[in-house]
Structure 1
Amino acid sequence: MEDPYTVPYKGIYAICDEDGKKAEIIEHSNCYGGACWSLHHYAKSPAVTNARAVGECIRYSVKIGPSTLELKSSVAAAGIESVICDDSKNEVQITYMGIGGGGIGATKCRAYADGVLRYDISEAGGGKTATGKIFVPKRKRVLIAIDDTDSCDEGATWTLTHNIGKAVSCEDAVYLSQALVQLYPVPEKTQNCMSTVLEFGCTTDAAKEKLIADIKELLLKYSVSENTGMLVYSGFEITDDLKEYSHLGRTMRVSREKMLETAQKNHVDIILDGNGVIGAMAAFAWFAQPVESVKPEFDVNSI
């Protein structure tokens, strides 16, 4: 073993809001047990407003700016001290602290992750208290909602969209999550009536535009349906209108007119305008919530 006391994260990414007040730190772990230990302790940091696990990823909602982090062995043994955005460099500086093994996690494990531009770390291990600063690109959240890529004879939207997400993922437009969304079953459904939302973190507007073009090209190439819908929403948080539309789409039949009205009011771009856009619009509200999104909202006994 080259370094038996280091388990580098697969990737660390920072999604920032438009006002420079909030961010989401997404850490893709290589050791789920260690990541869960971090989740437990980091959630107590003053900078962290919410923390949750989504598969192998731990997602921390944080306040941008400095904070005072007080560590205590076995109780609050590690945490996020600060998250600072540098708009001039389009970078985010994240400062971690930890005691003992938590110090290893705060320094080398995160410093060596994919997505880290550079780092400044202290000595760690044993009984030391360690500090690690990492610098990562500042990213904006881009959501791609897709529905109706299959037919009664072949295909599956969830597999195609995931494979497309992996195929187009790159340093400037990283694929972060997929959620499958259970819709209200309508007669036009192929079988299970599910739509999909993909989440990406883009570093620039140019990266976003290339991402959209690449996904559109692959959908046109591989979709076996003439009704494929593809929508794009860019924003740190989901609007109330999109949440309301999602509830409608998961409990009743929704008209195309309602979808068009919602798209216009919420700055949703229609990239492919097949009838799948009606179901696709209902998927945005469930990004990065794959456990909850598959559960029906409609009365299953009424179907």
Structure 2
Amino acid sequence: MITYTPEQVRERFGPLFSKKFLVMVDELAGMAEILEQCRSRGTIEWDAMNRSRAGGAVITCAVEGAAMTIHARIGIYPVNFGSAGDAIGGQALEGVEVNDNEVVTIWRGIAGAGVGIAACLPQAPGVIRAEYPEEEDLHVGGARINHVRIVSPRYEKITIGIDDTDTKTEGATWVMALQCAEACSIPGVEFLNMRLIQLNPDVPNKTTNCVGSALNFAVLPGKVEALLEFVREYVLAHTHSDEAGIACYSGIILPDHDDLAARVKTEILTVDQATAGAEVCGIRFLIPAPTKGRIGALGAVLWANKGVEAAGLYGEHL
């Protein structure tokens, strides 16, 4: 096994195009979520199509701009480049291994796709080291086959929903939520994205739009409670309402939530119903008082990772 740091990879192959590499793990669900960012959308799209085609550990690939999110199974799985691999090359995620506070993603690439996994991805910010099984794996391009094990820190995914921090005369929850995320400077906490969730507009007791706000973070082990306490204190210090709610979930996949996600957009739930539904899904609230904001905060968590449809009325699609 030949081990290179990202700096050594860059020195050998020259600076390439990967801008970020991050892996979150949900061991209870047996899944990992891999986030990659590149300078170019074209390479991300090509990689996503190739990895989906090859199978292996990949469950789904989603592309947003020049970034890709992969949901993958933990473990090692056979890949199949098929006839397309012989003609145009190919790229595959063979497996994901969790070793204490590190995650190993195992890659195979053919031809130009081998350059991506052997020379480009291992020098991305977020990589600890790259392990090449043989010297031949360090020779890229042409019709070669390359293998590499990329080692990165093990993150957890934390989703936080916030609602009812404004009134009819003051504030906007989405503004405060985004300011909260950007104010967080805890080492080992990476802010991923923010999403606005359209809830049921027929709710009578609301400001105007009936919209909750969701924040997604990648968090190193041991930093989760620090993040949750920071968010709780920030919201309580900046809310204009006594009805603020904060909900949180740790993991990639929410269990048994589809029916509740539909109801929060189509029905008028009570605080008791929201509290009971959250318990079933493993969602907890950071403000002990059973405030009205619990309903929207729960809805924000339920829709935080469901795509652009979260911003629409129930059933709306782009």
Aligned to 2:262: 247
What's the CA shift for 1:79? Answer: 1.5
CA contact (8 A) 2:23 2:103 kept: no
2:25 is aligned with 1:18: no
Mapped to 2, the partners of 1:85 and 1:60 lie a distance apart of 16
Deviations 1:50-105 (A, max 9, x none): 2212454312122222233354155551111221122xx32111122223332221
Q: Distance in 1 between matches of 2:51 and 2:72?
A: 11
Match of 1:129 in 2: 145
Q: Which has the higher helix share?
A: 2
CA contact 1:147–1:276 (8 Å) conserved in 2 = yes
Deviations 1:8-45 (A, max 9, x none): 232322323326x3322222333222111111101122
Native 8 Å contact 2:197 2:304 kept in 1:
no
Structure 1: 5+ residue stretches without partners: none
Q: Say which of 7, 10, 13 aligns to 2:17.
A: 7
> 1:51·1:59 contact (CA, 8 Å) conserved in 2?
yes
Q: What secondary structure, in the 3-state scheme, does the structure 2 residue paired with 1:9 have?
A: strand
> Does 248-257 or 153-162 show the bigger shift?
153-162
> Which residues in structure 2 correspond to 1:215-294 (within 5 Å)?
215-240=231-256, 242-272=257-287, 273=289, 274-294=291-311
Q: Taking structure 1 as reference, are residues 67 and 174 closer, same or farther at Cα in structure 2, changes over 3 Å only?
A: same
Contact 1:16–1:139 (CA under 8 A) maintained in structure 2 = no
Mapped partners of 1:192, 1:73: distance in 2:
53
Partner SS, residue 119 of structure 2: helix
Q: C-alpha offsets along residues 146-198 of structure 1, whole Å, 9 cap, x if unaligned?
A: 11222333432223222322332655232223222111122222211111222
Matches within 5 A, 1:70-109: 70-71=80-81, 72-73=85-86, 75=88, 77-86=90-99, 89-109=100-120
Question: Which residue number in structure 2 is paired with residue 27 of structure 1?
Answer: 36
Q: How does 1:204-219 map to 2 (within 5 A)?
A: 204=221, 206-219=222-235
Q: Which residue among 126, 130, 134 is the counterpart of 1:119?
A: 130
- Percent identical residues: 27
Report if the CA contact (8 A) 1:7-1:109 is conserved: yes
> Aligned to 1:109, what secondary structure does the other structure show?
helix
Deviations along 1:82-135, one digit per CA (max 9) or x if unpaired, are 21122xx32111122223332221023211222222212423234433222211
1:64–1:268 CA distance, 2 compared to 1 (3 A): closer
DSSP-derived class of the 1:161 partner: helix
TM-score by length of 2: 0.82
| 1:36–1:215 distance in 2 versus 1, CA, 3 Å | same
Aligned to 1:192: 209
Mark the runs of 5 or more structure 2 residues left unpaired by the alignment. Answer: 1-10, 133-137
- How big is the alpha-carbon RMSD for the aligned residues of Structure 1 and Structure 2? 2.5
The answer as to whether partners of 2:24 and 2:157 remain within 8 angstroms in 1 is no
Q: Look up the SS of the partner of 1:114 in the other structure.
A: coil
Deviation per CA, 1:255-286: give whole Å up to 9, x if none: 11111222333332221243211111112222
In the alignment, what sits opposite 1:165?
Answer: 181
Contact 2:154 2:220 in 1 (8 A): yes
**Partner of residue 155, structure 1:** 171
- 1:12–1:113 contact (8 Å) kept in structure 2: no
Give the SS at the match of 1:43.
helix
**How much has 1:235 moved relative to structure 2?**
2.9
Q: Is the 8 A contact 2:163 2:293 kept in 1?
A: yes
Q: TM-score, normalised by structure 1?
A: 0.86
Instruction: Give the direction of change, closer, same or farther, for the CA distance of 1:78–1:85 in structure 2 (3 Å limit).
Output: same
Quote the Cα distance in structure 1 between the aligned partners of 2:61 and 2:113: 17
**In the aligned structure 1, how far is the partner of 2:42 from the partner of 2:186?**
27
